Every structure is written in structure tokens, then in C-alpha cells.
A and B are shown apart, each in its own frame.
Chain A
Amino acid sequence: EVQLMESGGGLVQPGGSLRLSCAASGFTFSTHWLHWVRQAPGKGLVWVSQINTDGSTTAYADSVKGRFTISRDNAKNTLYLQMNSLRAEDTALYYCVLTSASGGWYAYDHWGQGTLVTVSS
């Protein structure tokens, strides 16, 4: 069974930093692309970032480009999101998401439960 478990969320002041982690199990981690998707309170889902199988290719939403860095450790089956220069508008529940064959490789067929990031003074 695929499991994605996010951690690292919390309360941080504007301008601060936070690193999210996503521990994965139940599938071959090193052969799958992974993504971060967020949902601000009362708002919709927003794609944040993605990373390919070996970490050599990444992409970011314009709203986080230059501030967030996605990475992965295939030896530890863990995905990361380093978030710097945080703003109030980054407050959201952050989901770790997997694309796999069961979703045609271009759909998010497995989701974690999310970790809450709150940016406030």
C-alpha cells in the first residue's frame, strides 16, 4: 500500500524558513515523479512544485519560484520542500503527491494527509 507522510509544518514568522519532508513507502520511490500541492484555508488546490526521478529536473509555480526548493533523497525514500522568505500567502496545507501508472502517469493518484504551514507574526 502506498503511503505518503508529510511532516515539518508549523508556525513561522514572515520572512522565515521551513523544510517540509514526505516519507514514502509502498512503491519504488526512485522511479516516480513527486509533487507538492497546497490548499490555503478556504481556497482551492494549487500545484506548487514537481521533481523527476533522480532530482535533476524540477519545476515551480510562479508564486514560489526563487523561494522554494524541491529535492529528494532516493536512499531515504523522502521528498523535501525547502521554503524560504515565507509570506502570509504561503499559509496552507501542503500535500505530498505521487503520479504513477495507476493514474496514467499524469494524474495525482496518491496523496498524503498534508502538513499545515502557518506564516504569521
Chain B
Amino acid sequence: QSALTQPASVSGSPGQSITISCTGTSSDVGGYNYVSWYQKYPGKAPKLVIYDVSKRPSGVSDRFSGSKSGNTASLTISGLQAEDEADYYCTSFTRYNTYVFGTGTTITVL
């Protein structure tokens, strides 16, 4: 149950697009289309922004999009805004019928 690998930090200017990667194995990310992404502000509970690799929950901005290729999933935030500055985590269902989170990525808006 090793954590999925995410970059520690990603930064971008307002209006730019940024992409966060989430790398696992064929036992988790690569084996199932059950990758989800969460936005987390300090002191707040996480918020689901993408589920099933690329689906957006009701109410989530269409600036958030997800994709997957092989054992790596990605979250793209387009039209970066100051409010997007937060921590982001991926998670995946696994072959063991459990879940594993990513290491987390801090997004900084320059």
C-alpha cells in the first residue's frame, strides 16, 4: 500500500493551466478507472473535484479536468485563479479492494 506519487509542488500564474500527475501501478491507477481528486484548504475538510478519472461532481468548476494514461492520472486546472491555491490529493481504488492516496501537491498561484 505505497502512496501514489505526486509532485510536491506546482506553481503557475493567474490564467495559466497547470497539471498535477499521480503515478501508481497496474494494481491501482492503471487497473481501475476509479481515480479521484481532492482539493484541501488548511483547516478545512477535503472537497471532491474529480471522480472516476474525469467526471466532475455537480457544482465543481469546469476549469478542473482529469485524465489517465497507463499508471499515471492527471488533474489539469485551466484558467488558474488565486482561489485554486490549495493542496491537491489523488486517490485510487486498488486490487485489494482498498484505497490509496497520493502524496499530495501544493499549488501556488504566483
Listed in ascending order, the chain A residues whose CB lies under 8 Å from chain B are 35, 37, 44-47, 50, 59, 61-62, 95, 102-104, 106-109, 111-114
* Residues of A contacting B85 in the complex (Cβ-Cβ under 8 angstroms): none
A104 near B51: Cβ-Cβ < 8 Å: yes
Tell whether A103 pairs with B104 under 8 Å between CB atoms, given A35-B99, A50-B98, A114-B45: no
Q: Is B103 in contact with chain A by the CB < 8 A criterion?
A: yes
Stretch at the interface among B11-19, B69-77, B89-97: B89-97
Query: In the assembled complex, how far is the CB of residue A39 from the closest CB belonging to chain B, in whole angstroms?
Result: 8
> Which of A44, A59, A106, A109 meets B34, CB within 8 Å?
A106
Within 8 A of A (CB), among B40-82: 40, 45-48, 51-52, 55, 57-58
Assembly CA distance A112 to B14 (angstroms): 31
Query: In the assembled complex, how far is the CB of residue A77 from the closest CB belonging to chain B, in whole angstroms?
Result: 19
Tell whether A46 pairs with B48 under 8 Å between CB atoms, given A62-B1, A103-B57: no
Number of interface residues of B (CB under 8 A): 29
* Residues of B contacting A111 in the complex (Cβ-Cβ under 8 angstroms): 45-47
User: Looking across the interface, which residue of chain A has its beta carbon closest to that of B44?
Assistant: A113
Q: Is B36 in contact with chain A by the CB < 8 A criterion?
A: yes
Q: Binary interface profile of B, 19-34, with partner A (CB < 8 Å = 1, else 0)?
A: 0000000000000101
* Residues of A contacting B1 in the complex (Cβ-Cβ under 8 angstroms): 61-62
Tell whether A45 pairs with B48 under 8 Å between CB atoms, given A50-B99, A103-B36: no
B52 near A44: Cβ-Cβ < 8 Å: no
> Which of B51, B99, B100, B102 meets A103, CB within 8 Å?
B51
A113 near B34: Cβ-Cβ < 8 Å: no
B93 near A106: Cβ-Cβ < 8 Å: yes
Query: In the assembled complex, how far is the CB of residue A5 from the closest CB belonging to chain B, in whole angstroms?
Result: 12
A46 near B101: Cβ-Cβ < 8 Å: yes
A45 near B51: Cβ-Cβ < 8 Å: no
* Residues of A contacting B57 in the complex (Cβ-Cβ under 8 angstroms): 102-103, 109
* Residues of A contacting B38 in the complex (Cβ-Cβ under 8 angstroms): 45, 108
Q: Is B3 in contact with chain A by the CB < 8 A criterion?
A: yes
* Residues of A contacting B47 in the complex (Cβ-Cβ under 8 angstroms): 111
